[in-house]
Structure 1
Amino acid sequence: MEDLRPLVQQGIAEIQHLLVYTDPEGQPFGFIGIQDQKIEMLFVDPAARGQGIGKSLVNYVIHALNVHAVDVNEDNPQATGFYEHLGFRVYARSKQDEQGKPWPILHMRL
């Protein structure tokens, strides 16, 4: 995971829309990054998972930013199931990620 940190930091700097979920005191618990009506990143603090934060962020961007697509690592069935629960369906598969690494990617859309 640590090797992904530079990619995430670079991605955040270049993302079109970045929304942060905070508690009433302003403590961040998650964020979502959107580019061209596609979810590019979604992170929720592991201590706060299962509380509806990810679902709230995704539902918000679907309605407010007309988001309709997301790519998911095929080796992450939890993420695939999460997006399927929210109405996304797999329409294509790539053998590599966008950086050319051998991580199969599922392309999903509403």
Structure 2
Amino acid sequence: MYTISPLDKSDYQEMIEVWEGSVRATHDFLPESRILELKPLILDQYFDAVQLFGVKEEGRILGFLGIHETDIEMLFIHPEARGKGVGKTLLLHAIEDLNCTKVDVNEQNKQAVDFYLYMGFQIAGRSPLDGQGEPYPILHLSLR
């Protein structure tokens, strides 16, 4: 249904727009100040730390995936593409083709938690703080 291709630095600007739109659609627990703090970190550091793959349609990025070893580090879908199989396609690529078995997700992002549980992940642990030490609990999920 969708074709997945590697993404690179030339895609970063469009990816950060997809990231921001996705976060605003799903992370309603984050204050505006936190989104603005995270945006340059994602753009200037986090994209460079992972292998990136995306789904494009008519040249536009509908969603993207970032992995490191067997960890899914990021999976973000353009708000207009949500519910159309883009996330599932990218996640199955990560699992079946890239041997990913773990993902961390904000506990307060109920839609993402439900999605990963539906796709076969289970809760393996919980941290009360996010990766930057902020009070946004993280669930550590792994495949059954």
Q: TM-score range by the shorter chain?
A: over 0.9
Deviation at 1:7, TM superposition (A): 2.2
Q: 2:63 aligns with which of 30, 39, 47?
A: 30
CA RMSD of aligned residues (A): 1.0
Which residue of 1 is the match for residue 52 of structure 2?
18
Instruction: Give per-residue Cα distances to partners, 1:86-105, cap 9 Å, x unaligned.
Output: 10010100011111111111
Deviation at 1:3, TM superposition (A): 2.7
Which residue of 1 is the match for residue 36 of structure 2?
2
**1:69 partner amino acid:** K
Structure 1 unaligned regions, length at least 5? none
**Secondary structure at 1:40's aligned position in 2?**
strand
Instruction: Give per-residue Cα distances to partners, 1:7-39, cap 9 Å, x unaligned.
Output: 221200221x1001111x322111000012111
Q: Matched residue pairs, number?
A: 108
**Secondary structure at 1:63's aligned position in 2?**
helix
The percent identity for this pair of structures is: 46
The list of structure 1 runs, each at least 4 consecutive aligned residues, that deviate by more than 3 angstroms after superposition, is: none
**1:11 partner amino acid:** Y
* Higher relative helix content: 2
**Secondary structure at 1:102's aligned position in 2?**
coil
In the aligned structure 2, how far is the partner of 1:108 from the partner of 1:95? 14
